[in-house]
Structure 1
Amino acid sequence: MRAIALMFMLLPQWATAGAAVASRTLPAGTVISAEDVTLAPDQAGGIEDITQILGQQLRVMVYEGRRIDPSALTEPTLIGRNQLVTLTYEKAALRIETEGRALSAGKVGQIIRVLNSSSRVTVSGRVAPDGSVIVQNN
């Protein structure tokens, strides 16, 4: 029995990669940057590659030294409520752009309602990666 225990002690130990932890207290809504996280080798389980979470937004507050759980992350909100946005309508060679006010917050690809500033009509559109809202064809 001692020989087996000695054999296990002599085998190389597997190194754990650690987990991403907050380097300072991060409030909910923070978009993660490189200065906000560090890799802690003493904490196992969680996100092992910091580049996976850069640019993600926190749903909840994470205190300094705490592990960042993948369930606490989401895509960043691109448009805030009451923010002025560009409304775009395209069909074939026709392109119409006007200004509107977002009635709700939205992420890329999400459908939100926008109040057209010139006509005062509420329309629905999909949030584009450039921050504009593309109005759908009815």
Structure 2
Amino acid sequence: MPRAAWAAVAAVLLLAGAGGAQAQAPSAAEPGVDLAPLTQRWLNDAMARNQPAGTALRMEVSVGSLDPRLRLAPCARVEPYLPAGSRLWGRTRLGLRCVEGPTAWNVYLPVTVKAFGPAWVLTGPVAPGAVLTADDATQAEVDWAEESAPVMAQPEMWVGQVAARQLMAGQALRQAMVRPPQLFRAGAQVKVVAQGPGYAISSAGQALSPGGVGQIVRIRMDNGRIVSGTVNENGTVVVAL
């Protein structure tokens, strides 16, 4: 990676981790400064801080190029920043703006952050609605940041779950790919428990949608009132009051 690219990325990562520190760029009259060793340390520290809790991911960063047609004015101080809605994960971008120079400018630099770590990869296709078993996937290293949906790194997170859509061999299992097994259908009579401080009241109602463990569903009670509650492992809908 070019030294200038390392410097830009490290600066924005330092900014994100240090709460607003500004990166100092050499002025146009100064000779080039070798920031590679320092920025590499910044980058390593920032990547370590941005890892998901409880994981040890191997982070990689690749930096794109600015439009070669750009002709930026000399600048004594460049401030890197993360644009609103951006994060240091997957395909993203960082902003660079001149805050001390004869002409103010603002540009964006494409950045790709990869995070390699262990995940469970499907060994064959899985049809929609099929229940996943331990034999359906094997462990392999994948790029966690390739998609926005979180990786399910532990077998208990996906074994026994149902494929939410057609899944293909080689895909890493992620949260958006599975759903809890259905415990009741829309229209079924279900037990409803309304819980409050120190008491619980049991009743019955009609499910307005299918329900699985952990899902929030709407229930029409006998008096016509519609309530929302969470399905527990027994298929009971728990309503918090």
| Bin of the TM-score, shorter chain as denominator length | 0.5 to 0.7
Aligned-partner SS, 1:35: helix
1:132 equivalent in structure 2: 236
2: CA distance, partners of 1:20 / 1:71: 12
The TM-score, its normalising length taken from structure 2, stands at 0.37
Which residue of 187, 190, 214 corresponds with 1:82? Answer: 187
Which residue of 224, 236, 240 corresponds with 1:121? Answer: 224
Residues 86-111 of structure 1 deviation map (CA, whole Å, 9 limit, x = unaligned): 11124456543223221013455544
The TM-score, its normalising length taken from structure 1, stands at 0.57
2: CA distance, partners of 1:129 / 1:48: 21
What is the CA distance between 1:32 and its match in structure 2? Answer: 2.3
Say if 1:114 and 1:124, in contact at 8 Å, map to a contact too.
Answer: yes
User: Which structure: greater strand fraction?
Assistant: 2
Residues 17-47 of structure 1 deviation map (CA, whole Å, 9 limit, x = unaligned): 77533334312233422122233x5x74355
User: Which structure: greater helix fraction?
Assistant: 2
2: CA distance, partners of 1:29 / 1:50: 21
Pair 1:98 & 2:203 matched: yes
Identity of aligned residues (%): 22
Matching residue's letter, 2:123: S
Matching residue's letter, 1:70: R
Aligned-partner SS, 1:27: coil
Which residue of 8, 30, 45 corresponds with 2:130? Answer: 30
Higher relative contact order (CA 8 A, sep 6+): 1
Matching residue's letter, 2:130: T
2: CA distance, partners of 1:90 / 1:19: 38
Provide the alpha-carbon RMSD of the alignment: 3.5
Residues 41-68 of structure 1 deviation map (CA, whole Å, 9 limit, x = unaligned): 5x743559452533444322113x3323
Following TM superposition, where does structure 1 have runs of at least 4 consecutive aligned residues deviating by more than 6 angstroms? Answer: none
1: CA distance, partners of 2:198 / 2:133: 40
Aligned-partner SS, 2:143: coil
Residue correspondence of structure 1 range 8-87 to structure 2 within 5 A:
20-39=120-139, 44-45=142-143, 49=153, 51=155, 52-63=157-168, 65-70=169-174, 72-79=176-183, 80-87=185-192
Matching residue's letter, 1:76: P
Larger radius of gyration: 2
Say if 1:124 and 1:136, in contact at 8 Å, map to a contact too.
Answer: no
Question: How many residues matched?
Answer: 117
Is the alpha carbon distance of 1:62 and 1:123 closer, same or farther for their aligned partners in structure 2, counting shifts above 3 Å? same
